[in-house]
Chain A
Amino acid sequence: MGIAEDLLRQADHLATYEGSNPSQASLRRAVSTAYYALFHLLVEAAALRWSGSPEAQTGVERGFQHGVMKSISIQFQKQTWHDWHGNQQPIPPAIRKVASAFVDLQDERHAADYDNHELWTMLDVQEILDLTRAAFQDWYAIRTDPMAGNYLLAMMLSKQRS
């Protein structure tokens, strides 16, 4: 079991271990952890496609930048994507859902970590965790599709040749 699954379980734990009246700190940490669960799911998937040494795989994982991943995920929410040859290719619905969840979770994580005025509730966080779990399931269903590889590669590269 990878760190992504561990983080998802930890997010669940943080949201529920205090019962029906969780602290804002726990809810915030749950949201932040949920984002990092999906983040690691994707960067681990990219590293696994790299057949180099474990050190090189770590290098691949470190090549990802949050802002770039967001802007590419915005592109992959749409129905089609211009591939590396400039041809328009349909994006499978599961990848579009993962990309959309990634954008959502990243913004939630930013609010949870940096916006002290934002208040969180059990339902907020439960919905965010549901969204994360659904993104995991969608990813597992689609991860061998060639478009999943394109999504990961595009997120790793800061620029796409036109």
Chain B
Amino acid sequence: MTATIPTQEQVDRIARELAPDVVRIRLAVKPDWTDDLSLYFRVTLSDEASRREPLRQVTGLVRAKVAEELRLEDLDMHPYFRFRTQSEQAKLQDPQWA
């Protein structure tokens, strides 16, 4: 079976499975700086999860879970991940992360 471009619905399901550490994940499919079509995952973490040390334990788990569930290795698109906290997003009100 060939992996297909993931949908926001699939990503929402993964975010729910990663709750309460993950508040939401927003997916954007767009070209990266070299014009290669890529996947951008914007992950909002709970404030509590973001305080956990080391941070990479949390972010690494999110990356691994998303990659495995969406079979990203089978896709010819690079996945980019960005992380911020719920408080940071509340302050910035960034629509790309809402």
Question: Per a CB cutoff under 8 Å, which of A70, A78, A104 touches B80?
Answer: A104
Say yes or no: B78 contacts A124, CB within 8 Å: no
7 CB < 8 A contacts A-B:
A78-B73, A107-B33, A107-B80, A121-B88, A124-B82, A127-B56, A127-B83
Say yes or no: A107 contacts B32, CB within 8 Å: yes
Question: Per a CB cutoff under 8 Å, which of A78, A110, A127, A130 touches B33?
Answer: A110
Say yes or no: B45 contacts A123, CB within 8 Å: yes
Say yes or no: A121 contacts B56, CB within 8 Å: no
Say yes or no: B56 contacts A130, CB within 8 Å: yes
Interface contacts (Cβ under 8 Å), in number, total 49
A106, CB-defined interface residue at 8 Å: yes
Question: Per a CB cutoff under 8 Å, which of A70, A77, A108, A126 touches B34?
Answer: A70
A3 proximity list for chain B (CB < 8 A): none
Q: How far does the Cβ of A158 sit from chain B's closest Cβ, in whole Å?
A: 14
Question: Per a CB cutoff under 8 Å, which of A103, A108, A114, A134 touches B78?
Answer: A103
